[in-house]
Chain A
């Protein structure tokens, strides 16, 4: 057992943390939030240059990481800074699916930051159910509708799940292909998504099935949990600082036991969250990975809500304002519960897997 990061990962963490602290300030981020694109091309290029995107892929894929702990390191830092650029959807999920399909030239472009992807899987009415797919594949063309597709507008290619007979398979669709329609919109916690429809759209089969998508979703579960953890660390940190500096009734509010004990609870729960993310990253390749991932996502959902709500409450009015850092961070934390299955979804899945 050794809970220290390897030297390479430690360096990656330090570099990324320093870069984001200097470059991804609240003001810069708030500009990105209100921009039409919802993401910064400059930041994206710099993340590629720093090797952040490459760290999401194994050496065989052309990267220099790709394991659970590499993802955890990267996404924890992205979460800490409240980064809205679609590293998770475009680079990690999209890139790793293309890697699984053997599209090494495209993966190379993903790592270089020159290719954007979107994964179009969920459908209206499907909630978080993985096999709810009504989009049809028939003779090389796709027809159907996908819900809340992250990064759909910025993507050069979409990876789309569709049913060919009984089997669900994945297809590659060029964004400007015939019959693709994207209705884009902003998201509460930053970034953009869209409702995407395909009407007899030409598509290339990737030779991947639902189980490949499940594997990519497992990577995403590690990433989103680590991201929420990083954001929780920020929230807790901001709250601790505020409790020590804000005075009311002639003393710092952190000296009121009613707040001090709750701050202590947040710190206790944060350690739980950290361990849960370590479990997810460490057991990612284990035979019972699904059980661990559901455990982590459920715990992160519960603790995330607590941290977001308590941080706002203990700040008072200031935390309700858009320009205060915590507002965005709290939104990132809570909205992470709406991705890849929420607290209840993973509770149920954990129960089912434990019984098995």
Chain B
């Protein structure tokens, strides 16, 4: 056991800090600090800055242009980036599709698609969920039928995050309806500009338009866009779902969020004193702080095991559940601090030309974020599904 960073790790940490200080655009920082959604161009700008430094794909092998960082390096980067209010990396190409293509894609697919992910030529979105297939993903119905050297795709995907920005979507489709559900699914790469695709926004409860419905009507997809083998898509999908776990707990986001709560609570007045000195509020903050310190160590413990070749499916589920609970608790604290000023809010759709939303603490739309982040325990395998996995693995000796 040694809890301290090595000299190399400390050097890396200063390198990261320096990079963030010099390269992270301040207009982006302002938005992230206030939890305001970034535009497509802003996300692309940050990706390009990271790519120029070779830090956009730290999880990829060097042979594919990645950084091949170890767990500690990734932890350091994630923590520093969140503390500096850097935006979240959009994960669909980099953390999801990338690793799948590296493991299961053909040489041609790797050579074509991977560089395009890095240089921003393609914006990918994830077409897994359907109206009838959420937690029970294997029940998906979107159908792909082989017709010569094309697949013809019909059906509907939903909850497609940032699909409005995407030019490409990776989809799970049903290629064989007559076998066991998991054995008739294939993994297809689809150009969003193909005729027959329609994207409709879904407005979320905070007025944001980050998710979409994607409809497919007789969409023709070249067979070379099939990843791996036909009807083996479930294997690739599961690989993808369990691949990205270094940042699954969102420790950096929680640390940054808690720091913001403390800052706001020092500025907020309650009975003539800063709110942070109020015993009830201070107890709430301390409780989360204590949980987060343990969580940060759990996160490091678990991801360093993964780097050492462990297969922590179970632990990833644990990090997801506890990490989301802590982040949501911090969102709850933030809305409490704001007091009556948590109520004013205008999504762009509601905002009139003369509306100015008062924000005396510089807190941003804390109540809207509180509601928006309810998603953390729903998507990517809900917390109920994660608990099911934990229980199943530990009590029946089965694998998830």
Contact = CB atoms under 8 A, between A and B. Distances in A.
B362 interface: no
Contact of B340 (A331, A339, A347): A339
B205 A338 contact: no
Given A313-B377, A320-B378, A335 B343 contact: yes
B358 A188 contact: no
A34 B202 contact: no
B368 interface: yes
A97 B352 CA distance: 32
A252 interface: no
Given A36-B352, A127-B270, A195-B358, A189 B204 contact: no
A193 interface: yes
B343 A334 contact: no
A305 B332 contact: yes
B346 interface: yes
B204 A322 contact: yes
Contacts of A338: 335, 338-340, 342-343, 367
A65 to B, nearest CB: 28
12 contacts: A34-B350, A148-B340, A186-B346, A187-B345, A248-B135, A319-B374, A321-B204, A321-B205, A322-B203, A323-B203, A344-B280, A344-B281
Contacts of A195: 358
A320 B205 CA distance: 5
A262 B139 CA distance: 26
B268 interface: yes
A131 to B, nearest CB: 10
A259 B356 CA distance: 42
A335 B387 CA distance: 30
Contacts, number: 148
B367 A188 contact: yes
A127 B378 contact: no
Interface string A306-330: 0001001100110111110001101
A344 B275 CA distance: 11
9 A-B pairs closest in CB distance: A327-B205, A188-B345, A248-B136, A322-B203, A127-B339, A344-B280, A148-B340, A185-B355, A249-B136
Contacts of A348: 278, 280
Nearest to B284: A344
Contacts of B377: 313
B368 A312 contact: no
B179 interface: no
Contacts of B368: 188
Nearest to B339: A127
B123 interface: no
Interface in B191-240: 202-207
Contacts of A322: 203-205, 207
Interface stretch (A118-126, A164-172, A202-210): A118-126
Q: Is the interface of A mostly helix, strand, loop or mixed?
A: mixed
A269 B284 CA distance: 22
Interface of B: 129, 134-136, 139, 158-159, 202-207, 268-271, 275, 278, 280-281, 284, 328, 332, 335-336, 338-346, 349-352, 354-358, 360, 365, 367-368, 370-372, 374-375, 377-379, 382-384, 387-388
A313 B383 contact: yes
Nearest to B351: A186
Contact of A186 (B203, B338, B342, B355): B355
A338 B284 CA distance: 17
A347 B280 contact: yes
A122 B270 CA distance: 13
A256 interface: yes
Nearest to A324: B205
Contacts of A185: 344, 346, 355-358
Contacts of B278: 344, 348
A309 B375 CA distance: 11
B269 A125 contact: yes
Contacts of B378: 312-313, 316-317, 320
B343 A189 contact: yes
A19 interface: no
A347 B280 CA distance: 9
Interface centre among A122, A317, A328 (most CB of B within 10 A): A317
Contacts of A183: 356, 358
Contacts of B203: 321-323
B387 A258 contact: yes
Contacts of B338: 338
Contacts of B349: 34
A184 B339 contact: no
B134 A248 contact: yes
B340 A147 contact: yes
Contacts of A184: 354-355
Contacts of A347: 280
B205 A331 contact: yes
B36 to A, nearest CB: 15
Given A320-B205, A320-B374, A344-B280, 8 more contacts: A127-B275, A185-B357, A248-B136, A320-B204, A320-B372, A321-B203, A334-B371, A337-B336
Given A334-B370, A335-B367, A188 B343 contact: yes
A34 B355 CA distance: 13
Contacts of B204: 320-322
A176 interface: no
Nearest to B374: A312
Most buried by A among B205, B268, B280: B205
Interface in A77-105: none
A335 B388 contact: no
Given A248-B134, A313-B378, A344-B278, A122 B269 contact: no
Contacts of A127: 268-270, 275, 339-340
A342 B339 contact: yes
Given A183-B356, A185-B356, A128 B340 contact: yes
A246 B352 CA distance: 38
Nearest to B379: A317
A249 B136 CA distance: 6
A129 interface: yes
Contacts of B371: 188, 327, 330-331, 334
Contacts of A320: 204-205, 372, 374-375, 378
B87 to A, nearest CB: 21
Nearest to A339: B340
A132 to B, nearest CB: 8
Contacts of B365: 188
Contacts of B387: 258
A334 B367 contact: yes
Interface in A205-264: 248-250, 256, 258-259
A187 B360 contact: no
A126 B360 CA distance: 12
A319 B382 CA distance: 14
